[in-house]
């Protein structure tokens, strides 16, 4: 089956074609036609199945048709997810698949100032991707109304439950219109999850898809503990091995990807980066050169790597561990395809150890540690530097020393 067989619009098909997607995954093939029929969906799908596209693509299609009928700028779609990283990722997908439509999307999450988010909302949006806390906060402030929501998605419901967001979700439900389409996705289906789904869905179509096999069963995984400042040296050391002829390297940021490429090229290793700041032509050119063997190392961010399909890629190196465990599974899944043997290497500095713990919990396996390399981790207990204790204020008497310092002045920097 191809995406063309799913009766999608030419604008969306064009965007999918540019990402390199031609055939839908099993959950996409099952879910997209059902969602396009405006039915509710109860989806049981683990990471690596392509579930994000399974709800983003048909939502784009439906809202596009809805707008063509009344042409009003209003919030028609709402996607709620447990973490800011997942929200950002879904927002990127929405913009990528919908780039040739006239729809826009804004991502709402806490931990940052709300100015940019509220400014975007004031300009008018079609779809909001949000974490529950900030969404409720902006609703209370009057920036968001859910009265006209036509399509609602609750993603990663089991993680939502684990993170204590269940009460926030129930508050949100009270603000949604009764007449709507609801899609509910979870990797597991505990009694609590089933109970929640019953409160949200109306006669849903149930779709269950699991990955064909565990990444741990297919791919040879290993990890090197290394100080952050020595990661580039370790990468160059590994690339001395002539067997590493074609390597996909992952970083967390665009800036990090560019920096790695500069270091590699300086040391006469042909490399190129693909990320969101690169044009589509630049990305396609770099990918083509990588596939043709003209570039030995391709450095990518998670979003940019979507759509990369290289059958004989033997090595993936996680130069920086992702802060979302599921992204690790997506990254290493780029190797070991079609039954081929694949190798996934990860670098971990002291501050990334919590990410490693989350990854090993997700894949249910301890990753093999490689000792005896030239750049072992020295700063084992590195953490965010603690605040320095305040020194007692010296009072030199009336009119002297610091006694007349204005109370508003900050004496100590937080770094």
The enclosing domain of 53 has a CATH number of 3.40.50.300
Report yes or no on 358 lying in a domain: yes
Angle at 332 between CA 328 and CA 338, to 5 degrees: 145
Tell me the β-bridge partners of 265: none
Residues 6+ apart with CB under 8 A from 126: 63, 67, 73, 74, 75, 76, 77, 103, 104, 105
- Walk along the chain (415 residues) and give the pLDDT tens digit of each residue: 889 899 899 999 999 988 878 789 889 999 999 999 999 999 987 665 788 999 999 999 999 988 877 767 789 999 999 888 788 889 988 999 999 998 899 999 988 899 999 999 998 899 999 999 999 999 999 999 999 999 999 998 988 887 889 899 999 999 999 999 999 998 778 888 899 999 999 999 999 876 544 555 678 999 999 999 999 999 999 999 999 999 999 999 889 999 999 999 999 999 999 886 777 678 778 888 998 889 999 999 876 665 565 656 889 999 999 887 877 887 887 786 555 578 999 999 999 999 999 899 888 889 999 999 999 998 655 544 444 444 444 444 444 444 344 344 443 333 3
- 171 and 233: one domain? no
- 87 and 142: one domain? yes
Number of helices (H) and strands (E) in the chain: give both, helices first: 16, 14
Report yes or no on 251 lying in a domain: yes
- 230 and 185: one domain? no
Residues 6+ apart with CB under 8 A from 400: none
- 253 and 219: one domain? yes
Two tokens, residue 353:
């150890």
Report yes or no on 381 lying in a domain: no
Residues 6+ apart with CB under 8 A from 309: 20
- 281 and 191: one domain? no
Separation of CA 27 from chain center: 19
Give the count of domains, the chain: 2
- 167 and 100: one domain? yes
Report yes or no on 394 lying in a domain: no
DSSP string of 82-122?
SSHHHHHHHHHHHHHHTTTSS--EEEE-SSS-SHHHHHHHH
CA distance 294 to 149: 49
- 39 and 113: one domain? yes
Two tokens, residue 310:
């290289």
- 60 and 114: one domain? yes
CA distance 156 to 369: 30
At what angle are helices 10-19 and 84-97 packed, to 10 degrees? 120
Q: Which of 163, 194, 209 is the last residue of a domain?
A: 209
CA distance 144 to 164: 23
Q: Are 324 and 330 in contact (CB under 8 A)?
A: no
CA distance 234 to 283: 26
Look up the domain containing 41 and give its range: 3-209
Considering the entire predicted model, what is its pTM? 0.59
């Amino acid at each position: 089956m191809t995406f063309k067989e799913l009766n999608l619009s030419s604008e969306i098909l064009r965007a999918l074609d540019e990402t390199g997607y031609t055939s839908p995954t099993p959950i996409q093939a099952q879910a997209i036609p059902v969602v396009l029929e405006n039915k509710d969906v109860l989806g049981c799908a683990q990471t690596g199945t392509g579930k994000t596209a399974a709800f983003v693509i048909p939502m784009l299609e439906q809202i596009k048709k809805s707008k063509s009928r009344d042409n009003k700028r209003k919030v028609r779609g709402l996607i709620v997810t447990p973490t800011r990283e997942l929200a950002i990722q879904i927002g990127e997908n929405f913009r990528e698949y919908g780039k040739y439509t006239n729809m826009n999307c804004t991502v709402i999450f806490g931990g940052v100032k709300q100015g940019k988010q509220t400014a975007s909302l004031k300009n008018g949006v079609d779809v909001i991707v949000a974490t529950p806390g900030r969404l409720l906060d902006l609703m209370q402030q009057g920036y968001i109304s859910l009265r006209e929501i036509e399509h609602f998605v609750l993603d990663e419901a089991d993680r939502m439950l684990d993170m204590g967001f269940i009460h926030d979700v129930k508050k949100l439900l009270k603000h949604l219109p009764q007449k709507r389409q609801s899609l509910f996705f979870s990797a597991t289906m505990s009694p609590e999850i089933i109970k929640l789904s019953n409160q949200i869905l109306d006669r849903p179509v149930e779709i269950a898809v699991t990955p064909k096999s565990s990444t741990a069963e297919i791919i040879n995984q290993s990890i090197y503990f290394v100080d952050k400042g020595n990661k580039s040296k370790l990468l160059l050391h590994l690339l001395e091995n002539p067997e590493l002829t074609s390597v996909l390297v992952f970083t967390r940021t665009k800036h990090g990807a560019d920096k790695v490429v500069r270091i590699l090229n300086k040391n006469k290793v042909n490399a190129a980066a693909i990320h969101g700041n690169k044009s589509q032509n630049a990305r396609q050119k770099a990918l083509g050169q990588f596939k043709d063997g003209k570039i030995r190392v391709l450095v990518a961010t998670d979003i940019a790597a979507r759509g990369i399909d290289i059958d004989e890629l033997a090595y993936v190196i996680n130069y920086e561990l992702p802060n979302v465990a599921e992204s690790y599974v997506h990254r290493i899944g780029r190797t070991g395809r079609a039954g081929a043997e694949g190798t996934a290497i990860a670098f971990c500095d002291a501050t990334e150890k919590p990410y490693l713990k989350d990854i090993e919990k997700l894949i249910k396996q301890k990753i093999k540690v490689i000792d005896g390399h030239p750049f072992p981790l020295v700063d084992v207990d590195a953490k965010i530097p603690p605040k320095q204790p305040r020194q007692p204020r010296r009072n030199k008497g009336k009119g002297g020393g610091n006694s007349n310092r204005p109370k508003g002045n900050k004496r100590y920097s937080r770094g």
